[in-house]
Structure 1
Amino acid sequence: MKMWKLFGIIFFCGLLSPSREVLSGLSCAVSPRAMQNVLSDAILQNGLLQQHLQGLVLPNIMGDGGLLSSPTSITGLHLVKVRLPRLSVVLLPGIGVQLTVTAKLELSGNCLVGLLSDLIDILVDVNITANIKCTNFESGTVQVIIEDCLCILGAIKIKLLSGLLSLSVNDIVLNKLTATLPGLLCPVVDIVINLVNIQLMGTLNAVIPVGTAGTIHYQLASLPFTSGLFLGLDLDGAVQQVGGSIIPHDSSPSALPPLLDKLLVLGLRQSFLTAVLSLLLQIPPQTFPCTPEAFSGASHLQEAITALVPSGCSVCRGSSALSIRITLAGKPLILLEENKATVRLSVMIQVFVKRLDGSILNLLLLKADLGLNARVSIAGGRLVLGLSLGSTSLSLESSDVGISNVSSLKPHFSGLLVETFLPLINAALSIGIPLPNVLGIPLLKVEIQI
């Protein structure tokens, strides 16, 4: 796969005055240059066209000669090699892709002119133009059909081993190839295009594991569409937990930004990203003693809590260390604004002591609503989020010892979460969100916009 100059990626949400409504997890805009690279690699560089043209046998060419020339017959004429193949692409709005292949075909056979037998080599320029349209969308796949295939012959060079060549042979070959080659080449192009379609569908329809938590099933959501500027693809992204439960996500109509100089723009919707975060962030409850070994600010936190305990609570003023339990509450939510991505996440924080009889005394049950600033990067074809604490909102759910105001505890618990829980979140997210390998276009020199 050749290294292409620039791949573009963008995350967005909400309504962006769409020109075409789509209801899927992802949308892609592929530039004509990218399509040309993709098809050139698949058809020419990988030898697919050469493979299916190799050994192509042409009908015998017969000429009766006439009054001033001898009868001519050319038999066993077959294709030896495809030379200098080139491919170009034009996107036809509302129709599909116009594919043009130019090449020199090297043909060889036996030539009989009168009673003289000779070997004949023919080099013919061909220009094949085919209009390709996608149709019959079903279950994430489409069929491709060639609506028009035009094959034009250019210059023809004929060489006999003996070096003798009459005008009659030249005229006969030109007329017969003009009549027969299009009918032979266009069906081959049709076969090649359908094979390429199968290959490219495989890049769009794939089940990709997300660590051990589950999978994302990417699938083409609708028929591809074309404008003069790009080929549009909408993909569903079904986020599935291990065991088969699918995490639902809503989709909103949206529009992709202009390609500018990029090969590809990939739009990931807020709801889809939120569903994948729910899959990744499956952190079990964390319980640990409130000691300096577990948390550097443990002594200050214990002092701050002790100061809030009403007088007369002897059991909670003992010298035994407090214990802390942190549990995820609800599902994460990613919010996308211009140049900013924030993850909203809630956790429950339980601060308790064990009585001598083994029972639990809850000093505090708190809910912390976190605003986490997201840093976004691409690594190994995956979207990786790194989170840092932006804001904390602390609220008291209950207290068995009568604590009623916890506002002074906010900095202590913010520090606790940054030191003990946020690393667990980032470790879970480090797996990354696997991105679809759209048409095999590599993720090189990625530009990320929010």
Structure 2
Amino acid sequence: MQIVTTHVGTDFDALASVVACTFLYPGAVGVLPRMVNPEVKQFLAIHANILRVKPRKGFDLDEVTSLIVVDANNWKRLDKMDALSGRDDVEVICWDHHMEGVTIESGETHREEVGAAVTLLLEEMQKRDTAISPMHATLFLLGIYSDTGCLRYPSVTSRDAAMVSYLIENGADLNVVSAYLDDSMDDAHTEVFGRILEESEVVRIGNIRAGICALQIKSGLTSLAPLVEKYRAFKGIDAAFGVFQADSQKCMVIGRGKPQFIDIGRIMRALGGGGHLGAGSAIIREAGPDEAVEQVKSLIARGCHETSEVKAIMSPPDLFVVDAGATMAQAACQLADNNISGLLVCQDDVLLGGLSMPDCTKAKKSGRSDVPVKGYVTRKIPKLDPTACCRDAISLMADAKEGILAVVEGDELVGVVTQTDLLFQVYEF
């Protein structure tokens, strides 16, 4: 078995590098450390199932014959991989951009000074003409931008910039990227932030308190999204919208908000852009700042409470239900046959809780594959009402170890929300 892993405290460059390796090494399985950055955890909450990655916890290293290490050069930075360091029968391959402190000796090494480790892997993928989806391109762009400060750090090379172009050509979604990345302020951004505080207005539309500002800015000024979020947090309001004009022919609108109160992505899509439930952006052409502000206000009034309900996206529960009397071996087969990450355990149509693949692996290792699943069930699992909004589902998914959410009406299980279901709420397919 060939696996790919990276450092504890996994950031977007590390995650992107792991996933890129699953393209370059067909059949390789990504194994992620138990500790990942909060932003990465949120990303994985709805993307993990399609990224061919597994958690380190409960993963058996006994069958590993090849180890690929990315964005790390020291055994101490890995999550309990020491058992592989002394095995002569394990092939070690490294892809990294850290030149100092190397303790991992590898038979095949790709270590060069670039801004992001994933840049090295993307160059190889480009050479091989590897096909990637817009979602994967978005993750890879997150990897480069997070490690290079959106191409502003001194470590940036022309190779990193070339790969950014390559990813945008392959459909990377900049709205999704901006929703996950934050940034600090330089002098130019500090000046703009001061103007936002001075010139903005806070309006109440329905139950929403929204701050809106319209500014003329210098051409070429980027990374404005963090300023809008800082403004929202500073004012303690439900949503904030920045309308920025650097070109007489168009305005950029950036929105940030509390997902439980407003669907920013829906508003931005109505303006021709896109984004997440709590973040998004759009370009309005042939409109001045005042007109753009009025469009935003109108859309808030019409759409701030029009959020998608879980019942509109949930999947039928049939594939995801296992009887409490079934054995752990049968549950493991059901998970594998249907390529799903978790099951809901029911007894006489009563939902008892959840079961995940790591539970089945644990039972197999302890010689208990023939015991009923009810002995391994996790009783306390996230549940949703069919009328709950999708943004609540996204929030709950981050803590659902089964990778699915139970949708219940009274005591009856009426559906299941999967990571794939939620993906369609984030990307425009």
User: Which category of TM-score, normalised to the shorter sequence, fits these structures?
Assistant: under 0.3
Using structure 1 for the length normalisation, give the TM-score.
0.21
Report which structure shows greater RCO (CA 8 Å, sep ≥6).
1
More helix by share: 2
